[in-house]
Structure 1
Amino acid sequence: EGRGKQFSDDVAGPVGANCYACHQLTPQELSFGTIGPSLYQFAKLRGYGADTQRYAYGKIFNADAFAACSTMPRFGHNQILTEQQIKDVTALLMDPQSPVNK
């Protein structure tokens, strides 16, 4: 289950990546960015296996490791997101029951 930013979280800590600014996650979204690819049905199209999960985690952690000229921020490398937040986003992309994969 996704957690997102909580009232009890440290205000100085990472707050999120705003994936919607660049990606579509579900077909119900009315407004989303188009700089990045649509993530709708991410794992449904790519597979639910360990290789896809490692790719998703790695791409979020350090996009430049997968494409040297990537416009995607290096969320883990630059400490924009914590390790747990990256795991949560990866779970959102990989879970068959996630709205992303419906």
Structure 2
Amino acid sequence: MRRIRIRLPKPTRDGDDTICLVTTLSAEQADALTLAALYHQRWTIERAFLHLTTQLRCEVRTLCYPGAALFALACAMVAFNVLAVVKAAVRAAHGQEAEAALSG
């Protein structure tokens, strides 16, 4: 088992400027930079699912209709992708500030 310390570019809202990752992978299996990049990618995916769940409401209380739950998830994922394309188009045409001003 090994621990990897990552210095953050800016402190968290709690004021922490480093995070520690614990892994069972050896240095030969995965170097620290690779693990840090994978951790960052993981949180990008986590934020996307948080957005799907909270803002696009992909979780529905279907109780005994799993097909309806899958349909709601698929609709939310399509909406998420459409929103990502629109944001990218706004960013390309008008810059980062215009994209940041969008809701959603």
Answer 1 or 2: which has greater helix percent: 2
Answer 1 or 2: which has greater strand percent: 2
TM-score normalised over the length of structure 2: 0.24
TM-score normalised over the length of structure 1: 0.25
- The structure, 1 or 2, with the larger RCO (C-alpha pairs under 8 Å, 6+ apart) is 1
